[in-house]
Amino acid sequence: MGTIDRRNFLKLAGVAGLTGMQGAFSSAYAADASSMAKAKMQGKAVFYANITSVEKIMKAFDADTGIKGIYTRTSSSKFLPTILTEFNAGKLEADVVQAPRPMLELLEKNGVLAPYVSPAAAGYPDWAIKDKHITLFGIEYVSYLYNKDHVKEADAPKRYEDLTDPKWKNKIVMANPSNHSSTISWLVGLKELVFKSEADWMQFVKGLAANQPMFVASFGPTPAPIESGEKLIGISMPKYIVTKAPAPLAWGPRSGQPLLGTARAISVTSKAPRPDAAHAFVDYWLSRKAMELLAKDVGEYVLAPGVFPPIDGIDKVKVMPVRDLPDDEIQKWGHEFGKIFAAK
């Protein structure tokens, strides 16, 4: 097997449906036996991440490789301080880290990340693998959700602009646009990727604000008031259609406008205590089998070719990554949106 190119073998294995088998894993993801042998001797791969609901992938990794995956969930607010403090003290235990792309880019600037281009990323979009230190594997996509029991499909908003209709006044929930960075980035992304002019976009923002949305701290609490009928629409994430099933949730826009979100990324650390296990973990994480688990069980939008969450119509819509806003721009727009929405 050592004479076969790893990327070509991976493509063939995927076509043959072998990537879910343990034997195929050792051939496709660890080109030479010594690399996997070293990984197994290292015994475990420690994974610091801010993504949730990945327990099934961790168990599958353990079962298919014989290497123990140790998952440590770190919230977005604590992710950078935790890793940088441990790294600067020479005590970073993580072999692999995962977070939105802007966070990993900051870690890269501080020397925390090592270059690694996984053969499992064959077939991913070129823009997802252009940085050798950071591989993008998904998009934290955002749209609006509505309660199907209270809003008929014919009456639901068809475009983002429809959210400004006065009939939705006091019937929308969203994360606070003055301080929730993902919502701020989403609103700015609409300006840059969806609306034809800044004037049209600002009309939308002011119209949405005029409908006096209820604010919550993040996307996480947005589904509950939609499920209960307290609110009819939420600026939220389509993945909740999967994770909150059988809640009566549907998504929009269904008129051809794209969905936007922050790119999700994964990297090997530059001083990984177990570098071979780190490579094995990233290879497995980017595999079709793992990405199918993430899409089908968690509703995530992933970049593995041909893999989609089980949400009606998601395979037909264009999903685009928003620009990574620097901190000063997040603060600037947060202040501006705070004034427009009178958010506190």
- 310 falls within a domain: no
Neighbours of 284 (CB within 10 A): 25
- 23 falls within a domain: yes
Could you give the C-alpha distances from 338 to 132, 149, 162, in angstroms and in order? 37, 32, 22
H or E element that contains 298: helix 288-298
Spatial distance between the Cα atoms of 335 and 47, rounded to a whole number of angstroms: 35
- 1 falls within a domain: no
| H-helix segments, 214-274 | 223-228, 240-243
Residue 164 sits in the same domain as residue 120:
no
Spatial distance between the Cα atoms of 309 and 143, rounded to a whole number of angstroms: 15
User: What amino acid is encoded at 143 in this protein?
Assistant: S
Spatial distance between the Cα atoms of 59 and 46, rounded to a whole number of angstroms: 13
> Strand, coil or helix: what is 81?
helix
Residue 111 sits in the same domain as residue 251:
no
- Structurally, the chain folds into a number of domains equal to 2
- Cβ(267)–Cβ(101) below 8 Å: no
Residue 217 sits in the same domain as residue 328:
yes
Could you give the C-alpha distances from 116 to 51, 270, 278, in angstroms and in order? 21, 10, 10
- 122 falls within a domain: yes
Residue 53 sits in the same domain as residue 83:
yes
Residue 81 sits in the same domain as residue 124:
yes
- Give the bridge partners for 147, in sequence order: 249
Residue 323 sits in the same domain as residue 187:
yes
Read off the pTM.
0.85
Residue 248 sits in the same domain as residue 280:
no
pLDDT of residue 11: 40
Q: Which of 36, 3, 339, 286 is nearest to 177 (CA)?
A: 339
Spatial distance between the Cα atoms of 290 and 25, rounded to a whole number of angstroms: 12
For residue 206, what are the domain limits? 140-261+316-341
- Give the bridge partners for 235, in sequence order: 144
pLDDT of residue 237: 96
Q: How many residues would you count in the chain?
A: 344
Residue 13 sits in the same domain as residue 122:
yes
pLDDT of residue 307: 97
pLDDT of residue 36: 87
Q: Which of 237, 76, 249 is nearest to 156 (CA)?
A: 249
Spatial distance between the Cα atoms of 308 and 302, rounded to a whole number of angstroms: 7
Assign residue 64 the CATH number of its domain: 3.40.190.10
Residue 111 sits in the same domain as residue 145:
no
Residue 177 sits in the same domain as residue 277:
no
- 309 falls within a domain: no
Tens-binned pLDDT, residue by residue, of the chain (344 aa)? 333 333 343 343 343 333 443 443 443 444 467 888 999 999 999 999 988 889 999 999 999 999 999 999 988 778 999 999 999 999 999 999 999 998 999 999 999 999 999 999 999 999 999 999 999 999 999 999 999 999 999 999 999 999 999 999 999 999 999 999 899 999 999 999 999 999 999 999 999 999 999 999 999 999 999 999 999 999 999 999 999 999 999 999 999 999 999 999 999 999 999 999 999 999 999 999 999 999 999 999 999 999 999 999 999 999 999 998 988 999 999 999 999 998 65
Helices 275-285 and 288-298 cross at an angle (nearest 10°) of 60
> Strand, coil or helix: what is 270?
coil
pLDDT of residue 216: 96
Residue 68 sits in the same domain as residue 128:
yes
Residue 184 sits in the same domain as residue 323:
yes
